[in-house]
């Protein structure tokens, strides 16, 4: 493969130009995030209107996460090879098409398929926004801008559930507008990026994208998630179906690893994954992914089905979690920019995340809302201190040419954690709810067969005694799934503690001698050596930093 070539050098962007371009990128991020959060509180009503089941409820979310996970590394690799601005715009168009098709769905199955297509665009947006920002702003300064990212994420996460609740509670709108509402915002973002975003184009001849590796990864994860959804309900844990699906998934993932190790342009570069910082950030991102997606999905269901609140009220009740994300991401971002240290904030955030999950693990259908709100606030603080900073830690360890692959790799595993988390937690929730409903109906002398609408979440059509039993079952089971989340989040603490303390560099790219030193150091102990002190520290033999 020939060496990369770059278009004519462009003058560095001024602070004003950076803010203008950042506004378009933040709007893109807002559109991508609100596509999930606007549905979170509306989903019980949507699935009820389409006569869907608890399993379909989970898969409406999982389908988007799965395709976003599978395509994120492809988008990231494309960003290392082609024009980043064009790729962002293509991702927006794909996202828009998926949104429109989702809005016209006539059944739960159609909605799942449309959301899967929409996830392709989401995968592009969640990877490319980080990549574009990394190409404009040095890591140390990026801490301050991460505060803006956190603010946008908080607004989308707070405003999305509220907006979704208002839409489904407004008779002349209806749930379909949960998908249509993002169309004009995305169109504005498309125009704004065309006018403001200016990034150099990197081109290589004879480019090869590893579609085979991406397909094998997606297939392996899909089979594993399908098994999780149906095990212990449609077939036993120890059965030929379990053996076939788990064995097949492991075989597909093993083949994917083999393909990735030999691909010229792997979608998940194993050389980057093997680096100490990246590997540990991946472990931490799995826990954060579960927090971010699992919390939004199942807390909305808890408030509506378990507690009987309307979608709008459920959106209001989730505000503490989003306030925690907003406050902690802004404060931590500014403190990181001031000190250049990122590890302490990731460690503290990981511990706080486990504490928050532990608190949520104690909730039931009659827990005080004040306590539930406090627990959500703690979880939000943990997410805000860890999510963007894990990506920042990885971006600080790689040269600019690998920013796309590195950023998308972390986003890939964070999304994978969310996908597996939602699927596993959803399966556990469905099983616990089913068992408790059967027990309580039998104790009340109500025939269990046919009394719950065949597993449909459209419980408003059921008799009031049955409704009360179903609501109590959902309220009590939700706490159990967050105990599982707390246990998994402990892995995030371990990963954070093992991160090597670094000082964020002050240039966008690494100086060439530092790149060579970093490669040599990683080959010895798997730890990036070039970011142990500020780049401008004037270490002997090292030139002062310079931007690209």
DSSP 125-148: HHHHHHHHHHHHS-HHHHHHHHHH
What pLDDT band is residue 535 in, cutting at 50, 70 and 90? very low
Burial 420-440 (b: 16+ CB within 10 A, else e): bbbbbbbbbbbebbbebbbeb
pLDDT at 471 over 90: no
Distance of CA 212 to the CA centre of its chain: 24
State the pLDDT at residue 7.
43
Alpha carbon distance 477, 359 (integer Å): 14
Lowest mean pLDDT among 25-39, 140-154, 469-483: 140-154
Q: What percent of the chain has pLDDT over 70?
A: 79
Is 504 strand, coil or helix?
coil
Distance of CA 292 to the CA centre of its chain: 7
Phi, psi of 5 (to 5 degrees): -120, 150
Mean pLDDT of the chain: 76
Is 61 strand, coil or helix?
helix
pLDDT at 104 over 50: yes
pLDDT at 206 over 60: no
pLDDT tens string 44-65: 888 888 887 777 887 888 788 7
* Residues sharing a CB contact under 8 Å with residue 17, sequence separation 6 or more, in sequence order: 196, 198
Distance of CA 448 to the CA centre of its chain: 38
What pTM was computed for the model?
0.70
Alpha carbon distance 47, 541 (integer Å): 63
Which two tokens mark 327?
Answer: 């406050």
User: What count of other Cβ atoms lies within 10 Å of the Cβ of residue 247?
Assistant: 11
For the chain, what is the total number of helices (H) and then of strands (E)? 19, 2
Lowest mean pLDDT among 31-40, 217-226, 404-413, 522-531: 522-531
Alpha carbon distance 501, 396 (integer Å): 12
* Residues sharing a CB contact under 8 Å with residue 469, sequence separation 6 or more, in sequence order: 437, 440, 441, 444, 446
State the pLDDT at residue 269.
75
pLDDT tens string 259-307: 888 887 777 777 777 778 888 888 888 777 776 676 667 887 888 888 8
Choice between 469 and 534, residue whose per-residue pLDDT is larger? 469
Query: Rounded to the nearest 5 degrees, what angle is found at the Cα of 344, between the Cα atoms of 343 and 350?
Result: 90
State the pLDDT at residue 126.
77
Per-residue pLDDT, averaged over 149-166, amounts to 75
What pLDDT band is residue 378 in, cutting at 50, 70 and 90? very high
Classify the C-alpha dihedral 127-128-133-139 as positive or negative: positive
Choice between 541 and 271, residue whose per-residue pLDDT is larger? 271
Choice between 310 and 515, residue whose per-residue pLDDT is larger? 310
First to last CA, the chain: 23
User: What count of other Cβ atoms lies within 10 Å of the Cβ of residue 149?
Assistant: 23
């Amino acid at each position: 493969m020939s060496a990369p070539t770059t278009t004519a050098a462009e003058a560095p962007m001024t602070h004003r130009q950076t803010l203008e371009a950042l506004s378009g990128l933040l709007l893109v991020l807002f559109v991508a995030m609100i596509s999930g959060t606007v549905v979170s509180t509306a989903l019980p009503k949507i699935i009820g209107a389409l006569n869907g089941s608890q399993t379909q409820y989970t898969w409406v979310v999982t389908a988007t996460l799965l395709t976003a996970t599978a395509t994120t590394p492809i988008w990231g690799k494309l960003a290392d090879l082609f024009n980043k601005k064009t790729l962002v715009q293509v991702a927006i168009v794909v996202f828009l098409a998926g949104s429109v098709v989702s809005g016209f769905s006539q059944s739960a199955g159609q909605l799942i398929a449309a959301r899967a297509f929409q996830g392709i665009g989401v995968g592009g947006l969640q990877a490319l926004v980080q990549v574009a920002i990394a190409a404009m702003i040095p890591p140390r300064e990026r801490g301050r801008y991460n505060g803006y990212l956190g603010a946008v994420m908080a607004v989308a996460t707070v405003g999305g559930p509220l907006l979704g609740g208002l839409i489904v509670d407004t008779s002349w709108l209806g749930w379909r507008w949960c998908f249509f509402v993002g169309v004009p915002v995305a169109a504005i973002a498309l125009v704004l990026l065309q006018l403001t975003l200016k990034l150099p184009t990197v081109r290589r001849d004879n480019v090869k994208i590893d579609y085979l590796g991406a397909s094998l990864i997606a297939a392996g994860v899909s089979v594993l998630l399908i098994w999780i959804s149906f095990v212990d309900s449609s077939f036993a844990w120890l059965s030929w179906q379990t053996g076939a699906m788990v064995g097949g998934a492991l075989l597909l993932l093993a083949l994917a690893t083999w393909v990735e190790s030999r691909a010229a342009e792997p979608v998940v570069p194993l050389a980057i994954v093997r680096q100490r910082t990246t590997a540990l950030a991946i472990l931490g991102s799995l826990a954060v992914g579960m927090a971010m997606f699992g919390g939004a999905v199942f807390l909305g269901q808890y408030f509506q089905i378990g507690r009987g609140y309307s979608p709008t009220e459920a959106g209001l009740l989730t505000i503490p979690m989003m306030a925690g994300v907003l406050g902690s991401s802004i404060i931590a971002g500014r403190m990181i920019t001031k000190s250049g240290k990122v590890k302490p904030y990731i460690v503290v955030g990981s511990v706080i995340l486990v504490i928050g999950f532990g608190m949520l693990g104690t909730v039931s259908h009659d827990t005080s809302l004040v306590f539930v709100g406090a627990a959500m606030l703690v979880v939000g603080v943990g997410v805000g201190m860890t999510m963007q900073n894990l990506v920042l830690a990885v971006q600080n360890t790689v040269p600019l040419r690998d920013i796309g692959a590195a950023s998308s790799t972390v986003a890939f595993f964070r999304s994978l954690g969310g996908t597996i988390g939602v699927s596993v937690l959803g399966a556990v929730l469905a099983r616990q709810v089913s068992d408790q409903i059967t027990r309580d109906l039998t104790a009340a002398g109500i025939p269990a067969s046919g009394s719950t609408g065949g597993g449909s979440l459209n419980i408003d059509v059921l008799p009031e005694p049955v409704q009360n039993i179903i609501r109590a079952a959902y309220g009590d089971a939700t706490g159990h799934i967050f105990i599982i989340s707390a246990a998994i989040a402990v892995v995030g603490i371990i990963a954070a503690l093992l991160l090597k303390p670094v000082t964020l560099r002050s240039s966008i790219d690494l100086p060439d001698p530092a790149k060579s030193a970093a490669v040599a150091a990683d080959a010895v102990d798997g730890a990036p050596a070039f970011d142990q002190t500020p780049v401008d520290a004037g270490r002997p033999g090292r030139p002062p930093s310079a931007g690209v």
